[in-house]
Amino acid sequence: MPQGGCCAPCGGETTRPPETASPALVRHSAGDYPPLSFLRISPDFEGADMSEVPLRVRFAPSPTGYLHVGGARTVLFNFLLARRHGGTFILRIEDTDQDRHVEDSVAKILDDLRWLGMNWDEGPEKGGHFGPYFQSACLDEYRACAAHLLQSGRAYYALETPAELDAMRERARAEKRSFKYVRPDPLPTVAQGEAAKAAGRPVVIRLKMTGEPITVHDEVLGDVTMPAEELEDFVIVKSDGWPTYHFACVVDDERMRVSHVIRAQEHLMNTPKHIALQRALGFRTPRYAHLPIIFNLDGTKMSKRDKEKAIRQGRKPPEIEVHDFRVSGYLPEALINFLALLGWSSGDDQERFTLDELVQRFSLERVGRTNARFDREKLLAFNTEWCARVGPARLLEAFKDFLAVNQSPLLKFDEATLTRLLAAKKGLRTFRDVEDSARFLIIKDDEVIYAPDAVRKVLEKNEGAGYVTLAAILTDLDAQTDWLPEALHALLERTCAARSLKMGDVAQPLRVAITGTTVSPPIQDSLSLLGKAATCARIRRCLSLRAPG
């Protein structure tokens, strides 16, 4: 186990670093960088002054689907630190694992980031001095670094076949010990490795560990040490010639001059490997900050598999990816606000923050070690408040995005109508509520399904009083020419006065007739939006379905 606590800090002690100066004040001299003749730098950057290197952070997703909400929290913390200290936020696509690549994933991730307002400074679509920003376009750099390690004796070809490795693992299981790769003695020479590769053998390249413990100096967790006996010679180049995640990540962080690596605690166990690679290559070690893991309220880890499990059990799948929350009708402002508090606190009682306020308040010193819990009810409360907080123009813009991403039939309505729908939904929680309440507007007249409970309580009660009211109001509506909400409201008031009825006695039968339920926007708005012809047709259909007697 790591000294001073395991790499996932669930016990033992770690030493948290003292409060430091603003990260923006941390500079790395050009002398910190070794000659990197084997790394490609954009010609536009040649001759640039590297005497000072400002804060540079990166988010490096793999193109395996939509952006996970945990990844969104990582994006946010990187973005906030960069904006807080005038640094650079880099987006890098780690696509070396071709087996896991999902078509269109990059476009989906970029779209998710734009929706969140997390605009990157360098990366896909924007370029920069330190591209390429797709790892699959950097194979020459990885090969050059691997050759450098082989020639310097810091790495070696490993010639074991998969069957031989499986036999080693089976032997370890039989002896009830953890499997650890044992370095061959003597090591294959570079020439032997090249010959084996040319002969078609599944040859990999492994880093030669030094046999010393490695300590991670973490901005959140403090010092975490991995004992030497837990560090094995690990693969840096696979048998297909592609780099492993660890190798490509380290080369790219140096190539892109990343100063701070902010990522989830799941990566903490990888960090000693990355430091070992940095030392072997003569690279600078960036500052690391590993963020608390996000769990569900029941203590289970949030996973995309939660959705698959819910579907198998016939339940509504929970929102796990950023796209899920967008489809469900959440505001990005609310989601950003909520995610910021999953591991970070402002130090006071304030919980509602705009993105600009978060930029002004954020610091790594306020990131905690305790794992976070994803409280969906709290997020819903945040979203309800944000729906009331943003202005009408912003709410309409976000509502239109929701309708577009869902390909909703409500898109056929103009902005004035959509604005009326939003205004009619009091206490708006999510845009899905608006769409649900307006469903009656987009179905055909004969598709209205009457809820039995609504029919019984509103229409059939008191010897069918609701039906009687509907028949009477139909006559008035047939004669009505002005179909604006104000005129319809005045008509309903006159109907109530003439028949000594309360507004609810008239409005509820009308709701059941045109929607099939007792829930809709204000009745005058509902009638106006539906139109005179459809309103009268639905009332007639409702009356025709009344049981005789």
Q: Which residues of 340-357 are buried (b: 16+ CB within 10 A; e: fewer)?
A: bbbbbebeeeeeebebee
The closest of 67, 163, 59, 164 to 119, measured between CA atoms, is 59
Note the maximum CA span of the chain: 104
SS3 158: strand
The answer to whether the CB of 335 falls within 8 A of the CB of 325 is yes
Residue 22 burial by Cβ neighbours in a 10 Å radius (0-12, 13-18, 19+):
exposed
The answer to whether the CB of 196 falls within 8 A of the CB of 239 is no
The closest of 271, 281, 147 to 220, measured between CA atoms, is 271
What stretches of 449-497 adopt beta strand conformation (E)? Answer: none
Whole-angstrom distance, CA of residue 110 vs CA of residue 66: 9
Chain-centroid distance, C-alpha 214: 32
Structure tokens at 484: 């604006």
The closest of 413, 314, 394, 330 to 72, measured between CA atoms, is 330
Helices (H), 117-161: 139-152
The owner of tokens 């009332």 is 539
The answer to whether the CB of 53 falls within 8 A of the CB of 27 is yes
SS3 250: helix
Whole-angstrom distance, CA of residue 543 vs CA of residue 313: 40
The residue type at 271:
T
Whole-angstrom distance, CA of residue 6 vs CA of residue 468: 74
The answer to whether the CB of 498 falls within 8 A of the CB of 476 is no
* Residues assigned a catalytic role: 304
Residue 263 φ then ψ, to 5°: -155, 175
DSSP H or E stretch at residue 222: strand 222-226
In eight-state DSSP terms, residue 189 is P
Whole-angstrom distance, CA of residue 208 vs CA of residue 280: 9
Planar angle of CA 407, 411, 414, nearest 5 degrees? 170
